[in-house]
Amino acid sequence: MGVTQHGRGAESLLGELLAPCRAACPVHVDVPRYVQALAEGRFSDALGIVIERNPLPAVCGRVCLRPCEDGCRRCQLDEPLAIAQLKRAASDHGVYPTLEAAPKRLERVAVVGAGPAGLTAAYDLARLGYGVTLFESKPEAGGMLRYGIPAYRLPAEAIAEDVRFIAAQGVDIVCGKTLGVDLDLEQLRADYDAVVVAAGLQASRPLPIPGNDLPEIATALPYLATCRDGQPPALGERVIVIGGGNVAIDVARSARRAGAREVTMVCLESRDEMPASAHEIHDAEEEGVKFVPARGMKAVVGTDHVEGLETVRCVSVFDADRRFAPTYDESDRQVIEGDAVIFAVGQGADVASLGLETTPRGLLVVDPATLATPTEGVYAAGDVTCGPTKVIDAIAAGHRVAASIHATLTGDDRLLEMLDEDFEKLGPIPEAVAVRLETRRRVQCERLEVYEAVETFDEVEEGYTKYEAAREAQRCLACTTGAQLDRDKCASCLTCSRVCPYGVPVFQPGGYPYFNADACRACGACAAECPAGAIRLGGWNEDEVAEKVAAGLRRPEKDKTIGFVCGYTHDLPSLLGKDAEIITVSCLLRISDRIVLGAFESGAKKVVFSGCTEESCRFPHAMPLVAERVCRVRALLEEAGMADDFVVSGESEDADDANGTADSADDSVGTKPVKEGAR
């Protein structure tokens, strides 16, 4: 959660009811809202929404383990939205926002370690007005993102983009300074009002088995760092990687790229128990990495050089209480031949010399609620406090430590309290509604061909084009953005239940409709048709639309034409000249009579309605209802003597001539065909 550009000073960062994707995200990024923006081709808006909660969009768009996708309600229908790739599309095609600087505070904070936790903490603190210095021991900021994750998954430029944005908020980043070497903790405590240690897990050790000191032995982190620097050591043709986690996969795939002809991953766990993500395992296998699961390591074989790895069968890794207690079948021995062994069997903290209290595992001791260490004024966040976690967990810890420091320095603990705010999660789609929903397969990202991929450290996934991103985003079910009733205004007219094709509004004793959020598809028909103005849509505000209209009409380069365009339209109609102000919406059903008439009142010379086509329309009732509304608005405008100023695309021959102008719109989604299909 943490500090948002909009949320500062607000009492609540979350609504009461969260979409499952948002609920599952450790920092509760407002996924439905940014995906909606993408669906409408508003990439910069989407990026701004991501950044409200997550200052590392380019990074997370590539390497987040995406717990959000497990929550996606599309899983009930086909497959989840590609939320991470969509986040990447926001950062690829959107412009990072220019945020208004916060009023400066006198207090200064030192953050040590420019990984995801440190970067986030520094960003939040700078946004709160603190003077922040972010120290990094390596030559460049990024921490494990920069030196631990291979470039084919996360190129340096993506990290640099996010780091530039964070630095632009006033964070002073000082690289090449190591705590305990160039920096003295006591001196930092004296110079700053608070110190955050976000040093990560820098230690990477081989297993204590015979032969682990042979020359062709490496450990994961130094090996990955040398790959990042473009100078991986020549380890030989056949490389054995020990470990079953995502880091081991990174090592194995890096070794392929560094020239190893044959890479074998050996791990204790069985295939099903391997901690690596399924898609990572899949990608590694595609690149020719071999897996030898359920093996215990006995010794590295070889006298002067590595010749292989001696293993025994691992019967079980965990005991009945899920504690790590491997058992072996010593009779099942096997030597895996190889020229080098890289250990990727966990990382450790390297903070023993700092004089801070540590756990038996060598991690820093912190209060989990405040992330304060027992040493006054010193805080810690990220992996150094809890062992290896996900990037997004480190970002969450960064938010927490910033909120905690703010609470200590100012006495205002609202931000910290908001991090533990309760919320309710949207339930599954009711069966009666689910059967009425269309299925749509995920839009696949272009990727390097495997034979190309293993030749270089270039990024494998190319990322969505604008058009692909919009198409993928359009699969979103818009959870929690549906109808909400203002009972004080409701006239119990039943119009909502008569226009809803999903049977969502149910009338209860007392005569008020109840909108089941699990079932509502957020098309907007009821809100626009409600005669009493008693229905609101989550995240939708007619006043904001009116402001957009007014802003568009003020722009001197525009021709005072307002185009309300369905974001699901493939092409912009030619009747929208390049000087028209285009306002995209998730469905034209949302554009009420009031909005159209209001646009004319604000000075619009012409208003254009441009809907989608029958094949791209997601709502079975939208077209007839919009047609009815058009008739009604026309009749009103006729009375006002200006019926000709309201134009609907697709009504005349030339309106169908749709092309050309799409590229002129700032966030055009283009016209390229898209590849859809199963993974």
Contact 220, 232 (CB under 8 A): no
Minimum CB distance to another protein smaller for 233 or for 533: 533
Torsions phi, psi for 70 (to 5 deg):
-65, -30
Min separation Cβ 579 and another protein, Å: 23
Minimum CB distance to another protein smaller for 305 or for 489: 489
Which residues face 241 on adjacent strands? Answer: 265, 342
Long-range contacts of 651-659 (CB under 8 A, 24+ apart): 654/574, 654/575, 655/573, 655/574, 655/575, 656/573, 657/573, 657/574, 658/570, 658/571, 658/572, 658/573, 658/574, 659/571, 659/574
Min separation Cβ 495 and another protein, Å: 7
Beta strands in 384-455 (DSSP E): 424-425
Minimum CB distance to another protein smaller for 369 or for 631: 631
Min separation Cβ 43 and another protein, Å: 33
Minimum CB distance to another protein smaller for 63 or for 622: 622
Q: Where are the alpha helices (DSSP H) in 128-241?
A: 144-147, 156-167, 185-191, 220-228
For the purposes of burial, counting CB atoms within 10 Å of the CB of 662, is it exposed (0-12), middle (13-18) or buried (19 or more)? buried
Minimum CB distance to another protein smaller for 495 or for 661: 495
Residue 188 structure tokens:
């930092």
Minimum CB distance to another protein smaller for 10 or for 491: 491
Query: What's the CA gap between 406 and 413, in Å, rounded?
Result: 7
Min separation Cβ 626 and another protein, Å: 14
Binding site for another protein (CB under 8 A): 489, 491-495, 498-499, 529-533, 592-594, 597-598, 600-601, 636-637, 639-642
Min separation Cβ 501 and another protein, Å: 12
Residue the block writes with tokens 């500062």? 8
Min separation Cβ 583 and another protein, Å: 18
Of the chain, the end-to-end C-alpha distance in Å amounts to 32
Minimum CB distance to another protein smaller for 343 or for 646: 646
Min separation Cβ 546 and another protein, Å: 12
Minimum CB distance to another protein smaller for 207 or for 597: 597
Minimum CB distance to another protein smaller for 99 or for 546: 546
Min separation Cβ 593 and another protein, Å: 5
Minimum CB distance to another protein smaller for 407 or for 642: 642
Query: What's the CA gap between 509 and 500, in Å, rounded?
Result: 20
Query: What's the CA gap between 612 and 573, in Å, rounded?
Result: 10
Min separation Cβ 528 and another protein, Å: 8
Min separation Cβ 499 and another protein, Å: 6
Residue the block writes with tokens 């208004």? 100
For the purposes of burial, counting CB atoms within 10 Å of the CB of 212, is it exposed (0-12), middle (13-18) or buried (19 or more)? middle
- For residues 202, 217, 285 and 247, what is the CA-based torsion angle, rounded to 10 degrees? -10
Residue 41 structure tokens:
């081709």
Query: What's the CA gap between 576 and 555, in Å, rounded?
Result: 16
Residue 445 structure tokens:
């990202």
Contact 584, 41 (CB under 8 A): yes
Minimum CB distance to another protein smaller for 185 or for 499: 499
Those residues with Cβ within 8 angstroms of residue 30's Cβ, 6 or more apart along the chain or in another chain: 22, 49, 52, 53
Min separation Cβ 577 and another protein, Å: 23
